[in-house]
Chains A and B, each alone.
Chain A
């Protein structure tokens, strides 16, 4: 079945640093890819998505590009803020396309 692997955390950065969180996937067919974020004390929420190869999802300064050739969907942000401190989950649709399969999550901590 489909699966996703994301880099282990925690990731600790200073404010304004560049962020990359790696995510690779294994899938049958052409899944949709997602990044979800969980801020402290809050529920999971969608950060960005891409539904086909070479699509770029973007939101709140974060970007990720659906790379079919490398089966990757790495999350990037050029300048992180303290408010970006959260747990980030990479996800893809299952083989049937009807539910999401999540990675283990990467904790990001940004200090001022």
Chain B
């Protein structure tokens, strides 16, 4: 069974440029998460989807970040315009559970963004 697939693995852009990350969760996983991991830190939640609905976007900086999961399967996270402080690894995770987390979140390998 394929795991969570993310692309691109690496992206280098100049500040003020836009960037987008794509995530394809494990088949049948209705819940999808985007996390951001700064260097030397643990992952921090940006947004959680159940199917196509963003059920928790309270941590998403909405002035420059947006996300979508139009058909309830794959998802895109966009930053426009990027700032130097956005350099981080963007992680996508999926889960077959809705609501409370009691089992495993399955993570992709992440997309490493460097903003120059």
- A residues contacting B by CB (< 8 A) are 32, 42-46, 49, 51, 89, 91, 93-94, 96-105
Contacts and interface: CB of A to CB of B under 8 A. Distances in A.
A102 B89 CA distance: 15
Nearest to A93: B101
Would you call the interface of chain B mostly helix, strand, loop, or mixed?
Answer: loop
Interface of B: 3-4, 33, 40-45, 48, 55-56, 91, 93, 99-105, 107-110
B43 to A, nearest CB: 5
Given A43-B109, A99-B56, A104 B101 contact: no
B107 A98 contact: no
Chain A residues touching B, majority SS: loop
Given A93-B101, A98-B48, A105 B56 contact: no
Nearest to B43: A102
B109 A104 contact: no
B101 A43 contact: no
A25 B28 CA distance: 32
A2 B32 CA distance: 21
